[in-house]
Amino acid sequence: MNKLWNGRFRKGLHPEALKFSSSLHVDNRLYREDIEGSLAHVAMLAKQSILSSRDAKKIQRALLEIGREIERGKLSFDKAPTGQKRFVAEDIHMAIEQRLIEKLGELGGKLHTARSRNDQIALDERLYLRRTILAILKLLRRLQKTFLAKAEQYRDVIMPGYTHLQRAQPVLLAHHLLAYVSMLERDYERFVDCLKRVGRSPLGAGALAGTSFSIDRKHAAAQLGFSGVIENSIDAVSDRDVQIEFLAACAIIMMHLSRFAGEVVLWSSHEWRFVDVGDAFTTGSSIMPQKKNPDVAELVRGKTGRVYGNLVTLLSVMKGLPLAYNRDMQEDKEPLFDSGDTVEDCLHLSALMLRSATFNTERFEKELQSDFLHATDLADYLVRKGLSFRRAHAIVGSIVRFCIQKHISLADLPLKAYLRYSRHFGQDVFGLLDAGRSISGKKSSGSTSPDEVRKSLAVWKKKLH
């Protein structure tokens, strides 16, 4: 079939050049968005008397029929089995228009009046982004609720907290889990904010200069549920900011999921034994019968690099492109779709994996007895006795060094030994060397104290439910 732009050319596109330049194998998934945008465009053309109402209805009916043909598998974008019609086109826009012309003849060719593929694809991608962002927001909420449920389940469990992967201070496990709820909330806010910019229509910008037809861009935008239009026609077709913003938000989500997955991998190891992931989200070894590998967590961690790469890919594509549209921008679709799919999958699987997880409370209790988790509490004790914090820090550091040399804990050190370091120590110092007292002693808002964690649980429960 001749290309819809072939009038100026003596020869058709070389088959290898067509194969190289075609995006149909990628953008065919935009057929719903393309038909949705075309329906709104035709309705606007009829409203403006650019098309007759009768012709507009015929085109709209045919577009809906094409949508059903695609959904029922009667039209193929690749190799067509017997009984199917195969599209031979550069992209989904041309494929649908070709099919429309087959159905309606010359009338089908009127669909593209006052429109370019440049504003058409920019519109389709925004419709895709809107749908995908709404799906991601739903999955973010589901994962947040799963973290919240686990935090409530283990609300009284104390664990060693870490910095630099070294034992630091006791914290409530619920407090640790709620940190992820907070991270994911920022992800949620980023996507909600991104939706504001996604929600502006480029339709009607034409190739770059607008159109000589008296169209109503705001009417078409309103039909599609957009809040407004992108005013500058060149900007509307040559920019991919919202796509880049979407990919950046996806990359940050994956960074958060990767940190969680990394902890699952670490915590489920024999050396840590802090968590046991359900069998349905782990695998065995082909050679070692005893193995239980946290493959789902590792894959989430591994797929993060792909999403990072997608962001860099599109930034690189757009760098230095002269205005307005350039064919380079066709390369935005694979990173866009891949990141959307990957984030949706990883959010979904992370929630299922977390739901299956069991935390080892006995292991936490045992680990709280080792190391020097209460050193900061000792320093604070001396500060309340009148010492400067720096002086108190130095004293407690010396005590810890002595205990390490003698292979004893802070609780094993007798009072007379404490007094050698400072006369401010008293018998009450031993009451500090308890994890429960340590967390209960925290006074600042947002801390790991049981009261603050209870407040936080209540706030998130209200917000998320």
Write out the catalytic residue numbers: 164, 285
CB 407 within 8 A of CB 201: no
Q: Rounded to a whole number, what is the distance in angstroms from the first to the last CA of the chain?
A: 55
Query: What helix, strand, coil percent values describe the chain, rounded to 5?
Result: 65, 5, 30
Enclosing H/E stretch for 181 = helix 173-198
Could you tell me where the DSSP H helices lie in 212-240? Answer: 217-223, 233-238
Length of the chain as a residue count:
465
Considering Cα of 121, then 122, then 126, then 129, what sign does the dihedral take? positive
Identify the residue whose tokens are 């077709």.
Answer: 237
At position 290, the amino acid (one-letter code) is Q
For residues 431 and 409, the answer to whether their CB atoms sit within 8 Å is no
Cβ–Cβ < 8 Å for 190, 249:
yes
Closest CA to 339 of 316, 308, 296, 300: 308
AA identity, residue 95: A
